[in-house]
Structure 1
Amino acid sequence: MKEFSPRRFDSYASYRSAMLAALDVATSTIAIFDPDLRDAGLENSAAIVALDRLCRTSPRREAVRILVHAADFAERECPRLVALIGAFTHRAALRVTSTPFLSWTQPFLVADERHVVTRFDRDGPRGKLAVEDERTSSMLLAQFETMWMSGTPTTTGAPLGI
């Protein structure tokens, strides 16, 4: 398990490390928003193992929810992630946001409704890992739920752009 303590980061490598740390400690749910998943590191084998574990052990129906503005990067570059979502359609889902939410660009992950990894801006790596931060996580989850409800499900197990 990666180090799991509050910290700030300023590189993409540190961002991906914080993402993996949050995935490693999640026991119930993961909510991820990223405009395109390009910098999230979800395709690496350690992230896939953590997501697979969560899908197998979580008591929640949709344990892993991922929301993007565009699914083309996942379609081209994340075959293991797409296969995982296809294998766990009852536990994992990927949706594309609707047009009114395209202005939201702050990537984030909320684990178990209380741990947060976020970058402050889509165009840079600076961000933070916040542990047991229910104030930030509830604000981000409210935004996530709003975008999720109007998002469009993707076709998993097949090219996402269909």
Structure 2
Amino acid sequence: MDRQSFPFTTRAEFLEHLASCFTRAERTLTLFDPDFAIWELGSSATDALLRRFLHNGGQLQLAGHDGRHIERDAPRFLRLIKDYSHLVEVRRTSQQLRQLTDSFCIADERHIVRRFHSDHFRGEAVFDGPEDTQTSGDRFITIWLESTPGLFANSTGL
């Protein structure tokens, strides 16, 4: 397939591209955001997309600074973690990484939706562009290695 790039500036566009990224994912989803407050991880639509992905054997890795929003507002996501605990891993970033403010979702190392700063909606979605995922993918590996297990289905802590 040919590389497709879509700049965006609104919450609706971000969520639309994020859903498209989840839909395209087959093997891996890696997500980073300071708190995932605008990701709607607890919505029924997102739950359905992630359950389909995980049911088909995909693996989800999520890293963030603060999990209070998920704990408070995303009970469906907490159930998803419980139901697919063998395929979902959630980590909490270390104190040294708390200054990171970007936000991204990478699917299968070929699709990415990223916001340049988590306080704003300006960003881009790139589908079928593996070279576009490289920098954020490398960043995620560093974040992951410097993070600790965080959110579990029966105890909080992200």
User: Please, what TM-score do these two structures have when normalized by structure 1?
Assistant: 0.90
How many residue pairs align between the two structures? 156
Letter in 2 for 1:34: D
Letter in 2 for 1:16: L
Letter in 1 for 2:121: P
User: Please, what TM-score do these two structures have when normalized by structure 2?
Assistant: 0.92
1:72 is the counterpart of 2:68: yes
Please identify runs of 4+ aligned residues in structure 1 that moved more than 6 A: none
Letter in 2 for 1:137: T
- What is the CA-CA distance between 1:155 and the residue it aligns to? 4.2
Unaligned runs of 5+ in 2: none
Letter in 2 for 1:56: H
Q: Contact 1:75–1:159 (CA<8 Å) still a contact in 2?
A: no
Match for 2:149 among 150, 153, 157? 153
Aligned to 2:32: 33
Aligned to 1:43: 42
1:137 is the counterpart of 2:136: no
1:91 is the counterpart of 2:84: no
Q: Contact 1:83–1:156 (CA<8 Å) still a contact in 2?
A: no
**Aligned-residue identity in percent:** 28
Deviation readout 1:79-117 (Å, 9 max, x if unpaired): 111110111111011111111111111000000111000
Instruction: Compute the RMSD of aligned alpha carbons.
Output: 1.7
Deviation readout 1:112-156 (Å, 9 max, x if unpaired): 111000011111111111012222211111111111122111241
Deviation readout 1:43-92 (Å, 9 max, x if unpaired): 2212111111111112x5xx101111011111111111111011111101
Match for 1:81 among 77, 84, 92? 77
Deviation readout 1:23-50 (Å, 9 max, x if unpaired): 0111111000010000112222121111
Unaligned runs of 5+ in 1: none
SS at 2:30 equivalent: strand
Return the alpha-carbon distance in structure 2 between the equivalents of residues 73 and 134 of structure 1.
Answer: 31
Return the alpha-carbon distance in structure 1 between the equivalents of residues 8 and 39 of structure 2.
Answer: 14
- What is the CA-CA distance between 1:8 and the residue it aligns to? 1.1
Aligned to 2:11: 12
SS at 1:84 equivalent: helix
Letter in 2 for 1:125: F
